[in-house]
A and B are shown apart, each in its own frame.
Chain A
Amino acid sequence: MNRALLYLWWALLRRRAWRFCRSLRRPTTLIAVVYAAALIGVLFYFRGNEVFGQLVKRQVLLGGALIMLCGSVFKGFLQRGLAFEPADLEFVFTSPFTQRQILLYRLLPLYLYAVIQGVVFGALFAPHFRHPLLAAACMTLFQIACFHLATAAAVFGGAISERLHYRLRWMMLGAFFLLGALYLRVEWEIKLVPAFVMSPLAQLLFYPAATLPDATNSPVLQRWILGLAGGGGMSLPALLRAALSLAGFGLGAMVSLWGLLRIKASVFEPSLGSTTRLAEERLRVRQGRAGSAGKLRARSARLPGFPLFQGVGALVWKNLVVARRSRRELLVALAFVGIYSTFLTALLWKFHQLETHTGPISGQDAPQVKLTFHLGVAIFIAMLAFFLQRMFPFDFRRDGSHLLGFRTLPMSPLGLALAEVAVPSLLVLASQAVGLVPLLIFARFPWPLLALLLLGYPAIALGLNSVWNLHYLLAATRQTAGAPQSASPVGAVMVVALSFLVFFPAIWTGERLGGCLTGPNGLSIAIGTAVAIQLAVDLMLILALAEVFQRVEISREARGSGR
């Protein structure tokens, strides 16, 4: 290994580490790192669990090794040549380094990765190995061997012709498939091959490398032939009828095709129009703009004189108009709510029917059981908000592209944030009401509890919409500033995790109070406290939304003046 290249690698590694540390200033990166660290921490804490022991069984390890090996070779082969940094092409390739030195330089980061992987593997699975250090070292060396194979495959793949590469790719896939099937058969006793493949008739699949009398020595085939020859109960008239039916349908198909081909109208011009329409429709769906071109040309709706829709309320009115025109989204949501609510109503009805037929639930805990059941249904209805939030895109998802326009409007950031989350929250609440009505009829909650439940639903809807709108707003500001749109799955997973976490303080407090407080009002106090905490969290989220909107404006101004 050349010392200059070693130094270069070390310098680049240090710079990357420094950049990574600096990137932790960004909340999204920090949350992602904390999330990953917490995950590893949790896994490390539970490393003695039996589940981990199952993961290092011989079969699992062998399967993992097979996947690593085959995956490395195939990935490298598909890559066709080694991937370097653009700067490396200019500096390393033009410098007097041998090919071997450049290869080693390329492998150095991979070696580091293998070592880290070995350490994590050893730390997590140490309790289940007799010699954990040896296992970690073997894991590291095996990973390094896989990297070598991948690199060799990449170099080889880059040196052969496109045609040969195409064929070898299929050969490798075929070989891997056989290897995988053999592994499943030997290690897990899973038979991918159905039993009928071993019947004599299946030998025909390998004709001409088959002995025909052996292949036809199948009772199924002989019975079929017997039937075809008229000895199996099918008489000649029946055979004729079958043939006539087949001929009749065949003739019908031929005649209809003949008629179709005789049409002299031009196919191309109308097809052009319909194809263009379809392409536009697809593009709109891909960009998240629903509705057809015709719907977009709908006449404008007059702003009502109602005071609620004045000022920042006009934004709410605008989103309501958009929602009214998005019939497709509303119909899908309606169908979903219908199915969901029907299921819950059926559950309630069945519970009460059972109670009617078999008599009320006896025992001291009977009221508690009924209350728990009805609260469970109420929680299910609350969970509807998680599914529906994505179905009502009448917030920053659509308005993200109008951020600069919003800046010119005479409204406060807080008002704007509230106006943006208002329509999806209202629609979620309206949908939840469909399921809530039967629950209230069947459950007959006490008034204090009922009031708290009814307050709880808006708190949930508002919290959920605020979290997601925070995400949409951040994405929109990046897009407006010209940065590439980041729609990474990790980001989406983080938002999903956060949309659950915002309810954690309220749920935790409610659960603790519910456990501590006894008596008739204990549950009401616990739920009331939880709702109050959730409303406080919602308020903080809305304020955060307004703050982000305001900060974006300031940063844009600063950037503009800087130029």
Chain B
Amino acid sequence: MPASVQDPAAPPLATTPLPAKLANLLACPGEVFEEVAAAPARARNWLVPTLLVALASIVLAAALTSKNQAAAVGQIIEAGKAETLPARWQMLSAMTITLAAFAGTGWSALVLWLIGRVFLNARFSYWKAVEVAGLTGSIVALGAVVTALLVAASGDVAARPALSLLASGLPADNPVRAVLGVLNVFHLWTTAVLAIGLSKLSGVSFKEAAFWVFGYWLVFRLALILLC
């Protein structure tokens, strides 16, 4: 049943606490999203996981001291802003990541909402899509922790839990490596969970939702790499 349809005479649903929701999302996302679809919108459902993502990503960023980042800093220094950089670089990086986490949640929710509205002909609230995208962040946070551990273990800042691990000899801008990098275990997991969320919100089958979600988050991304 679509999320917007709710029987006012029905008894109030028993709500799972947020930590349990985040844990359940890893094991049984369908049940979590069913509850989200039936319950009224709650800001904490997406605020807390998004902050968690930001925190985990900041930890991961600290573990990564990539050459690219050094180059970016170098560019800014060349631009004549060297005096502002050293002290605040870590803080700026953290701010960027936090903003990106919130912007990414909003954007992915918008994409989910548009897919539901335009392609699946289903109507549900945008804030429900934000909750789905936000809760999926718990997998992103786990992915960031795993990636940080992988980098620490392998000593390679480009190491990711993806098929690109098999092609570590290739340069970073190689399209084959980019394609293999898209096939990240956690990316596939989050995409599948988003598809489950969309199917629960729009009331369509998982297959239909998965076509669009995988189509955008995976196929479209792979196509962009191949088309560029």
Docked complex: A39-73 residues within 8 A CB-CB of B: none
**Complex alpha-carbon distance, A197 and B76, angstroms:** 22
Name the residue of chain A whose CB is nearest to the CB of B79: A223
Least CB distance, B195 to chain A, in whole angstroms: 11
Contact across chains for B93 and A211 when beta carbons are under 8 A apart: no
Contact across chains for B99 and A225 when beta carbons are under 8 A apart: yes
A209, A221, A223 — which one has the most chain B CB atoms within 10 A of its CB?
A209
Least CB distance, B29 to chain A, in whole angstroms: 13
**Complex alpha-carbon distance, A222 and B140, angstroms:** 22
Decide: A226 near B76, CB < 8 A? Known: A193-B224, A197-B228.
yes
B79, B144, B215, B224 — which one has the most chain A CB atoms within 10 A of its CB?
B224
Contact across chains for B81 and A232 when beta carbons are under 8 A apart: yes
- CB of B156 closer than 8 Å to a CB of A: no
Contact across chains for B84 and A226 when beta carbons are under 8 A apart: yes
The answer, among A212, A219, A233, for a CB contact under 8 Å with B53, is A212
Name the residue of chain B whose CB is nearest to the CB of A226: B92
Decide: A185 near B184, CB < 8 A? Known: A217-B72, A229-B95.
no
**Complex alpha-carbon distance, A208 and B211, angstroms:** 17
For the complex, count residues of B whose C-beta is within 8 A of A: 69
**Complex alpha-carbon distance, A222 and B61, angstroms:** 14
The answer, among A167, A204, A229, A231, for a CB contact under 8 Å with B119, is A167
Contact across chains for B81 and A216 when beta carbons are under 8 A apart: no
Interface string of B52-81 (1 = CB under 8 A from A): 011001001100101011011001100101
**Complex alpha-carbon distance, A207 and B69, angstroms:** 20
**Stretch in A122-130, A174-182, A380-388 touching the partner:** A174-182
**Complex alpha-carbon distance, A192 and B224, angstroms:** 9
- CB of B139 closer than 8 Å to a CB of A: yes
Contact across chains for B68 and A231 when beta carbons are under 8 A apart: no
Least CB distance, B90 to chain A, in whole angstroms: 12
**Complex alpha-carbon distance, A174 and B214, angstroms:** 12
Contact across chains for A211 and B227 when beta carbons are under 8 A apart: no
Contact across chains for A215 and B147 when beta carbons are under 8 A apart: no
- CB of B14 closer than 8 Å to a CB of A: no
Interface string of A160-180 (1 = CB under 8 A from B): 000100110011001000100
Decide: A212 near B100, CB < 8 A? Known: A170-B119, A181-B227, A197-B224.
yes
Using a CB–CB cutoff of 8 Å, the interface residues on chain B facing chain A are: 53-54, 57, 60-61, 64, 66, 68-69, 71-72, 75-76, 79, 81, 84-85, 88, 91-93, 95-97, 99-101, 103-105, 107-108, 118-121, 133, 136-137, 139-140, 143-144, 147, 160, 184, 186-188, 190-191, 194, 204, 208, 211-212, 215-221, 223-228
- Given A178-B219, A181-B223, A198-B228, 14 more contacts at CB 8 Å? A167-B120, A193-B224, A193-B228, A207-B100, A207-B140, A209-B217, A211-B143, A212-B54, A212-B60, A225-B92, A225-B96, A226-B76, A229-B91, A231-B88
Q: List 8 A-B contacts (CB under 8 A).
A: A185-B226, A211-B143, A213-B61, A215-B100, A216-B61, A219-B75, A221-B100, A233-B81
Using a CB–CB cutoff of 8 Å, the interface residues on chain A facing chain B are: 163, 166-167, 170-171, 174, 178, 181-182, 185, 191-193, 195, 197-198, 200, 204-213, 215-219, 221-223, 225-226, 229, 231-233
